Amino acid sequence: MKKLVAFLESRAGASTFWRAFADEPVPRRHAWLFALGSAVLFALVVQVITGLALALAYAPTPDHAWESVKAIQTKLPAGAVVRGLHHWGSSAIVVLAALHLARTFLFGSYRKPRELNWLVGVALLLLILAFGFTGYLLPWDQKAYWATVVGTKVPSAIPVVGTAASRVMAGGGAVGAATLTRFYAVHVILLPILTLGLVALHLLLLRKHGHAGPTDGPDPREPFFPYQAARDAVVGLAVVLLLFALAAGSPAPLERVADPSDTSYVPRPEWYFLPLFQLLKFFKGPLEPVGTAVLPGVSMLLLALVPWLDRGASRRPRDRKRVLVAGGLVGAGILALLVFGALDAPKVKPKSGLGSGDVPDPRLLGGLAAYERRGCASCHGSETSPPPALPGAAALPPLASRPIAWSAEAAVAHVSEKSPKPAAGGADGAGGEDPDKDIPSLLGYVAALKDGGSFAKLPEPIRVGGAAIDREDCRQCHQIYGDGGRRGPALQHLLGKRDEPWLVEHFKDPKKLVPGSKMPKYAYLSDAELAAMAEYLLALP
Amino acid sequence: MPTRRTFTLTALAAGAAAFASVAGAALTFALSPLVKRRAEAGASLDLGAANDFDSVVSGAAGAVEVVVERKIEDGTMTRRVRERLAVVKDPSSPSGLAAVSTTCTHLGCGVAWNAEKKAFLCPCHGGVYGADGRVLAGPPPRPLAKAPLAIAGGRVTVDPAAFEA
């Protein structure tokens, strides 16, 4: 051991380096506040580790990005944890960096000769925000897509250079494949390189000039190791435990896959961009660049110039009252904008793309109803009960895990042969036409089960209503999820425009409410079924 | 014979120029989206059967929204994307109909036709457009993109170039 230490010392100067590192005198007073910078560093390390893991599975193309994130979240071992840590880590870094900045500002630690390190810190703050902005797009869900549509368009209101800046950001005129590859490259290559360099410079400059407490004279000091090192370790542990708790308690969200044709989506930025978002609402028309560029630009410039604006000799807060009040007002203003932005949230909760919160396609619900009606469960079991043992034979494997892939013809023949036909013109209104009309829906339902779909937890009205909509073939004339005929209006965004009584009334006698409507009357369906259909339609995004 | 001094300076300058040209090549690549690509002409977009829009012609509906799928050149790949267009009355179009883009000209959110207010409403910052795409209220700087529709053989088509961003 001693030999190894001697070898490393003579070849690499390791011991000399360690002594210089460990014996650095650091202030004893406010020592916990000085650990805030370390907290940012630890959160950054968490982002590097989890980001690297995510990059192993993520695919940066519009056709696969959402799918790969969904697979990370639902299929990969520890995927939800890794993504949860990365998601919450991004917010934690912003909070911790803001606290670290507030501490530095309060203590006047940016005073001569530490001006350059303040500048490096401001640059790092901008890099953190750039990480957040570019990372937000990558899951390619509705939130990601629409927030980036707005985010990349914001600069275009700036005179002269605006449109060009917007095009370079988006990689063209619209958010698409080029935007995704651009944001991905910036997020995982350019920003990490810059951040690594600036963090190294930040630490080097810190060590060159030492810590600066809120005092003028010499303050009591102690060596970094073991005192501050122990505090840093506690802070690091707290950061990691907090992130684990957040990741476990509130998983990273994933909404439905980005859909440029969905015009009902109200984009929301990540919370730390809410102040900017809110400014956008105050400055309209020709004044817009004031909110999007001038105010944020001037604020950042002022922040960078703080060491030159506050040049007194004393670092004590009581000698810097004017500066502290000014800084406090700006900070309070940013917080107020943040709160107003948060209160301005849309009332409709966005739909999750992860299953239970989603409204499935009516075809799948029709398939589920057919599955129940045809008694498939008596051999194959259902989502909630495993397949029962059959007389004289072992139980079949559950359909969801069945590896056999049948051709469509074989599957149709199997269903038609094995299950009793629904009674023609039966009470459920299945109609007397083709008794096997429901088989395509049934097969679609089984395929969705194999894909990990889950329907057991859906509210009763959604299941009943969706099945009825499939059975009555509303898609002959109406589009649902962009699929169907165009004789009638597309069935979407109904929430807020129509309510349940209106819809039920309209099902019974369309002409009464919409003069000239060619829609047939559905008064022969039960009131309960009509109400369920209305509820289903209102739940559609 | 060059002196050592001129040789050193020349070598340094040449080396710097070499790396600058590498950066220049990369930068050209990165800034290429500044040049707008021309949309391919001729590929007209089918919006549906002519009688799908009878309600617009008769005035019963101010606008009928359709979702169309089309191939676009997107970065390095060709992709199919779904877009939403609205079909409205337009006396200046030979067919009497026009398609209006549902992309708000302010910040790119999707606008939707509101039958009661007879206007396209943007959910983001309150932009309001008339059925003809003109700005009625709110922050949008320009009217919605609009293109005349052609009707041939009972099908309604539009040239998608008008909606290229």
| Residues A240-256: tens digit of each pLDDT | 999 999 999 998 999 88
Top-ranked range on mean pLDDT: pick from A14-23, A42-51, A408-417: A42-51
How do strand B128-129 and strand B146-148 relate by DSSP bridges? Answer: unpaired
- The CA distance from A248 to A270, in Å, is 20
pLDDT tens digits along A493-539: 776 667 788 888 888 888 888 877 888 888 888 888 888 888 888 88
- The CA distance from A265 to A257, in Å, is 12
Peptide bond into A226 cis (omega under 30): yes
Q: Is the pLDDT of residue A430 over 60?
A: no
Chain B residues contacting A, CB < 8 Å?
A: 30-31, 33-34, 36-37, 48-49, 52, 55, 60, 64-67, 72, 74-77, 79, 81-84, 102, 106-112, 123-125, 138-139, 141, 164-165
In contact, A470 and A360? CB cutoff 8 Å: no
pLDDT tens digits along A2-32: 999 999 999 999 999 999 899 999 999 999 9
Mean pLDDT calculated for residue range A141-152:
92
Percentage of chain A with pLDDT > 90? 46
What is the structure's pLDDT at A425?
A: 42
What is the structure's pLDDT at A433?
A: 60
Residue of B46, B71, B124 to mutate when probing chain A, most A C-beta within 10 A: B124
Q: Do B83 and A260 touch (CB under 8 A)?
A: yes
Q: Is the pLDDT of residue B2 over 90?
A: no
Q: Is the pLDDT of residue A432 over 70?
A: no
Q: Do A150 and B108 touch (CB under 8 A)?
A: yes
**Burial group, residue A363, by CB count within 10 angstroms (0-12, 13-18, 19+):** buried
Cβ neighbours of residue B41 under 8 Å, at least 6 residues apart? B159, B161
What is the structure's pLDDT at A378?
A: 79
What is the structure's pLDDT at A265?
A: 79
Mean pLDDT calculated for residue range A221-243:
95
Mean pLDDT calculated for residue range A387-412:
71
What is the structure's pLDDT at A457?
A: 75
What is the structure's pLDDT at A218?
A: 78
What is the structure's pLDDT at A306?
A: 94
Mean pLDDT calculated for residue range A284-288:
78
Residue length of chain A: 541
pLDDT tens digits along B89-115: 999 988 889 999 999 998 888 898 888
What is the structure's pLDDT at A426?
A: 42
What is the structure's pLDDT at B165?
A: 61
> Among A118-132, A161-175, A454-468, which is the least confidently predicted range?
A454-468
Please tell me the pTM assigned to this model. Answer: 0.74
**Burial group, residue A221, by CB count within 10 angstroms (0-12, 13-18, 19+):** middle
What is the structure's pLDDT at A355?
A: 42
Q: Is the pLDDT of residue B38 over 70?
A: no
In contact, A514 and A521? CB cutoff 8 Å: no
pLDDT tens digits along A96-133: 999 999 999 999 999 989 999 999 999 999 999 999 99
What is the structure's pLDDT at B42?
A: 54
Minimum-distance CB partner of B108 among A61, A149, A487: A149
Mean pLDDT calculated for residue range A31-57:
96
* Whole-complex ipTM: 0.89
Read off the pLDDT band of A71 (50, 70, 90): very high
